[in-house]
Amino acid sequence: MATTKIWAVKNRLDHVLEYVSNEDKTMDKLGNYVTRDSATQNQKYMTCMNCSSNDPFTSMMNLKESYHDNSKIIAYHAIQSFKPGEGNANIVHEIGVKTAERLFGNQYQFVVCTHLDKEHLHNHIVINPISIVDGKRYHNSMKDIYKLREVSDELCKEYGLSIIDEPKGKGQSRNEYYQARSYIREIKQDMDNAVKRNYDYDSFIKDMKLEGYEFIEVEDMPCVLHPNFSKAIPIALLGQKYSLESIDKRIKKCEPTFVKLKITYKQKDANTLYQMYKEHKLNGFLKDVVKFQILIGILPNYAATKVKLSKEMRKECRKLDLITNATTFVAKNNIETFEKLDSIINDLNNQLNELQNQRKQLYSKSYIENNLIEKAKLSDSAKRLTPEIKELRNDIKSLEYIKDHSQRCIDYNKELERKKKLERRNIIR
């Protein structure tokens, strides 16, 4: 039995390669790929494909440079973990190599290392996402994740190892999980249409029920039941825009301009009709029809075009927002000295870092969680931290702006006072 997972690497490729080839994690003490000789016995459980076995890092970076790749995702890191007691090092490593070959073949560079330091043997596969054939990038989609599992299961069967037909426990089967994800887009579209069609929240719920949907709570989490899917899908997975509170607000703010109708005009005809309406050349029913079509956005309403601010004006408006926010904050917290200002900025930065770390951990847990309810709870907890993080960022930015410009103001006031004193002396003389 082998379980699999894969994720994007966005920090340093050399650190990843050093970790997977760590001598403390292999039976025959496989050393650092840069500093160790490439003797056959030391390479027993490390296989490099389409790159140098002595220095895979340099090979991968050279390929990236040759295709001028500057993507934030520098590699993909996959793990293939086996059941304790199943298989030996040779078999596990062979399965890892064959898995990578079937998935990436002769198109990508990859390194396969088998770790033997745990009770369960496991393979680490590091993939350079740049194709050696044409330089195109590999993008890890949900389809690819499922394919990785599928290939791993096929090879386990070939070697006489067990596989997981259907995971048990609180988690869901892979099929159920991917099905739920496939229905989310449809649910969001249907909810958007229902918002456009209705004038209050109750009519929205009735509308969705007519479409076959039901709204329930599972473990205190608001969920929606799709008519063709038996499992409850947490509304939090749809995004903040689709929370029931947001839906209620959207309905109240909804305007006819957002209603999509299938009536279309050529631009020339639209311009002509609008001009005739503007010059009062339309009468009776036709005038009312055109007026309505302008109102709901079928015909262009050029008079409603907003005047854009210049770049300089937008910059000054941002400065004004910073000063206003900082002034309010300073007044509320009785900040009278630079020392107190520095102290508060440091405190705010510490609070910001703590909240960002909490959110990052929650999102990381949510990413690897397959149970939809638990996934939604983690995601919702992370999203609840975002408004506070934004507020802290704004406060810090405003206070730092005030700090940077305060000394200049002090110097200016001193110079102004000096000039006033000189003027007084001249008047007296």
Same domain? 364 vs 393: yes
Residue 286 lies in a domain: no
Tokens of 401: 């702006």
Which two tokens mark 205? 């719920």
Same domain? 91 vs 225: no
- Total domains in the chain come to 3
Q: What is the pTM of this model?
A: 0.40
**Token couple for 228:** 């063709």
Q: Are residues 335 and 236 in the same domain?
A: no
pLDDT digits 0-9 by tens, 43-85: 468 899 998 888 888 889 889 888 888 888 889 999 898 887 7
pLDDT of residue 174: 52
How many other CB atoms are there within 10 angstroms of residue 47's CB atom? 20
> Considering the domain boundaries, does residue 272 fall inside one?
no
Shared domain check, 16 and 123 = yes
Q: What is the mean pLDDT of residues 116-127?
A: 85
Calculate mean pLDDT across residues 223-245: 84
Does some domain include residue 118? Answer: yes
Model confidence pLDDT, tens digit, residues 183-193: 888 888 888 88
pLDDT, averaged across the chain: 76
98 and 199 part of one domain: no
Q: Is residue 83 assigned to a domain? A: yes
Cα–Cα distance for residue pair 261/296, rounded to 1 Å = 9
- What's residue 411's pLDDT? 73
* pLDDT band at residue 146 under the 50/70/90 scheme: confident
Instruction: Mark which of 130, 158, 186 sits at the end of a domain.
Output: 158
In the prediction, which pLDDT does 271 show? 61
Determine the pLDDT at residue 382: 86
Distance, CA of 80 to CA of 72 (rounded, Å): 24
Q: Is 145 among the domain residues?
A: yes
The reply to whether 145 and 189 lie within a common domain is no
- Helix 13-20 vs helix 56-66: crossing angle, to nearest 10: 150
For the sheet containing 75-82, what is the strand order? 2-9, 75-82, 122-128, 109-115, 46-49
Confidence check: pLDDT of 98 > 90: yes
pLDDT reading at 222 higher than 70? yes
135 in the same domain as 16: yes
CATH number of the domain that residue 14 is part of:
3.30.930.30
What is the predicted pLDDT for the residue at 269? 54
Do 198 and 144 lie in one domain? The reply is: no
What's the start-to-end Cα distance of the chain, in Å? 100
Joined together, the tokens standing for residue 117 give 């330091």
Find the domain containing 54 and state its range: 2-158
One domain, residues 128 and 241 = no
* Whether residue 140 sits in one domain with residue 202: no
**300 falls in which pLDDT band (50, 70, 90)?**
low
Domain-located, residue 293: no
Same domain, 102 and 220: no
Is residue 26 predicted with pLDDT exceeding 70? no
Statement: residue 31 has pLDDT above 50: no
Residue 274's pLDDT is 65
Tell me the residue type at 408: R
Residues 6+ apart with CB under 8 A from 39: none
Domain annotation covers residue 306:
no
- Residue 237 falls inside a structural domain: yes
Same domain, yes or no: 205 and 99: no
Residues 6 or more apart in contact with residue 33 via CB below 8 angstroms: 17, 18, 21, 46, 53, 54, 55, 56, 57
State the pLDDT at residue 175.
58
